[in-house]
Amino acid sequence: MVIVLICYGFPGTPVTFSRPKAAPAHQSSNSTSLGSSNKRKNSNLILIFGISAGILVFAIISVLIICSCTFHEGKTKASPKESVKPRTADAVAQAGSFPHPSSTRFLQYEELKEATNNFAASSILGEGGFGRVFKGVLSDGTAVAIKRLTNGGPQGDKEFLVEVEMLSRLHHRNLVKLVGYYGSRDSSQNLLCYELVPNGSLEAWLHGPSGVNCPLDWETRMKIALDAARGLAYLHEDSQPCVIHRDFKASNILLDNNFHAKVADFGLAKQAPEGRTNYQSTRVMGTFGYVAPEYAMTGHLLVKSDVYSYGVVLLELLTGRTPVDMSQPSGQENLVTWARPILRYKDRLEELSDPRLGGKYPKEDFIRVCTIAAACVAPEASQRPTMGEVVQSLKMVQRITEYQDSASTISNNRPNWRQSSTTFESDETSSMFSSGPFSGFSALVNDNISRTAVSSEDLHEGR
């Protein structure tokens, strides 16, 4: 129904309302059918749009599933190839999983916990910069020393991996043997299980209560010096690639019940690249008093840096002093700084002798070992001997003592012997000290033992 409102057109004109005539019946019917048709078209469009959207979503999901399956299959196929490649400690650390060297046992945490009586304080053997060492017995009855590393974050994990990798492939009678290990990044537990070396460290015997009550005699000190030199020589010359210990010191030389020495703690060790004589290190690591000057000043780590550290240990064996002793007079706190001027004069060498030796040592042997120590701590790395040369020289010192009774008889058959200011020298074989600042001390006598024979013997006995 339509209502028509007629307003006043002019003032005074009344407003009238009129009812229009009804529309014809056929016109109303047409309007209704048109509205219904439009509704049906709208419903069809919505249905078509919904179906299309569903198909599109299904297609996208299907493509994603197919891509995911393809990627997973490719990764699975690639993993065996990757496992064949040798993995360095750094690569393993980045991958987020620990290596499992076939030659080293992976021990369960519960077994190590039980072996140490839940890491009881009564089981502690010692404590270092990387954690505590506990004495324990494994389920098979093996006596072990278990090092529980402190959580050092990524750097601590890296050092743990380095030590596992190093010890799993380095085998020598003068290196501490790795029995097994446990590592878990999730629980931040890193443990190394070593053979138990029961007689403590060289540091404890030289500077601790053991040395006070029962000081080491000359023969024992020389046995320790030779064993430690053999261990380092193996790392430098017989290991492929060459290994630089980087933290060689008295506390890392462990002694068995017969006072044979084993080199320990490879947490800071570095592999020197093949064909290079130096290694660029980003950080200077080590122990104050043992670090070589070129490494401390430049960060260049050399094989000869270990030789310097060995020289410091040899001076400890000769003098009984620690590398740094702040109780000494001014200018004498550092062992090397104090000893160097004395080492240049034969008539002053007795000043270096450890009073606890009581003068009970062969004087000529003492001079020869002082010569070796002086060369090892030379300021320039190029003037230091190799550890292989140190081993040969110490072995010669032993043989000189063994054969000194027959030296005069043998010397009658030797051509052109001559005596230098401090020791003897032969025309046949040049000494490792025949040049450099310590050439005045010069050679160690062969005494009917050629270098060839010594080298052959070392190959047989593993140095």
Tell me the CATH number at 134: 3.30.200.20
Q: Are residues 321 and 302 in the same domain?
A: yes
Q: What is the pLDDT of residue 268?
A: 84
Angle among Cα 89, 140, 179 to the nearest 5 degrees reads 20
pLDDT, residue 35, reads 57
* 184 and 217 both lie in a single domain: no
Within a domain: residue 28?
Answer: no
Instruction: State how beta strands 424-425 and 418-419 pair.
Output: antiparallel
Residues 353 and 432 in one domain: yes
In this prediction, residue 154 carries a pLDDT of 59
pLDDT the model gives residue 248: 96
Residue 147 assigned to a binding site:
yes
Pick the closest to residue 255 from 277, 275, 228, 273 (CA basis): 228
Q: Please confirm, yes or no, whether 247 is among the known catalytic residues.
A: yes
Q: Does a structural domain hold residue 273? A: yes
Same domain, 375 and 237: yes
Domain match, 176 and 249 both: no
- 226 shares its domain with 369: yes
Per-residue pLDDT for the chain (463 aa), expressed as one digit of tens each? 444 444 444 444 444 444 445 445 445 555 555 555 666 666 777 878 788 888 888 888 888 888 777 766 655 544 443 333 333 334 333 434 455 555 678 899 999 999 999 999 999 988 876 788 999 999 999 999 999 887 665 556 776 777 787 778 888 999 999 999 998 777 678 899 999 999 999 999 999 988 788 899 999 999 999 999 999 999 999 988 789 999 999 999 999 999 999 999 888 888 876 654 566 566 788 899 999 999 999 888 889 999 999 999 999 999 999 999 999 999 899 999 999 999 999 999 999 999 999 999 999 999 999 999 999 999 999 999 999 999 999 999 988 766 664 554 555 555 443 333 333 333 333 344 444 444 444 444 444 334 434 443 454 444 5
- Tell me the residue range of the domain where 180 lies: 92-195
Query: Is 273 found in the same domain as 228?
Result: yes
Instruction: State the Cα–Cα distance between residues 303 and 248, nearest whole angstrom.
Output: 12
| Residue 227 and residue 156 share a domain | no
User: Between 218-233 and 303-319, two packed helices, what is the crossing angle to 10 degrees?
Assistant: 170
Is residue 380 a part of any domain in this protein? yes
Domain presence at residue 20: no
Determine, yes or no, domain membership for 35. Answer: no
The backbone region for 188, taken as left when phi is positive above 0, alpha when psi lies in -120 to 50, beta otherwise, is left
Cα separation, 451 vs 236, whole angstroms: 19
**For the domain that residue 307 is a member of, what is the CATH number?**
1.10.510.10
Judge if 432 and 368 occupy the same domain. Answer: yes
Exactly one of 157, 217, 238, 247 is catalytic; name it: 247
Contact 203, 251 (CB under 8 A): yes
47 within domain boundaries: no
User: Residues 270, 281: contact at Cβ < 8 Å?
Assistant: yes
Same domain, 417 and 302: yes
- Of 195, 219, 235, which marks where a domain is finished? 195
CB-based contact 400:324 (threshold 8 Å): no
The reply to whether 327 falls in a domain is yes
| Count of CB atoms situated within 10 Å of the CB of 226 | 21
Domain-ending residue, one of 195, 227, 249:
195
CA-CA-CA-CA torsion sign (113, 115, 120, 124) = negative
Would you state the pLDDT for residue 36?
58
Residue 111 structure tokens: 């077994």
- Against a cut of 0.85, is the pTM above it? no
Are 219 and 296 in the same domain? yes
Among the candidates 135, 165, 195, a domain finishes at 195
Domain count, the chain: 2
DSSP 58-72: HHHHHHHHHHHHHHH
| Domain identity same for 363 and 237 | yes
Residues, the chain: 463
Rounded (to 5) percent helix, strand, coil in the chain: 50, 15, 40
Q: In terms of C-beta density within 10 A (0-12 exposed, 13-18 middle, 19 or more buried), how is residue 144 classed? A: buried
Determine, yes or no, domain membership for 9.
no
DSSP alpha helix (H) spans, 291-379: 293-298, 303-319, 335-343, 363-376
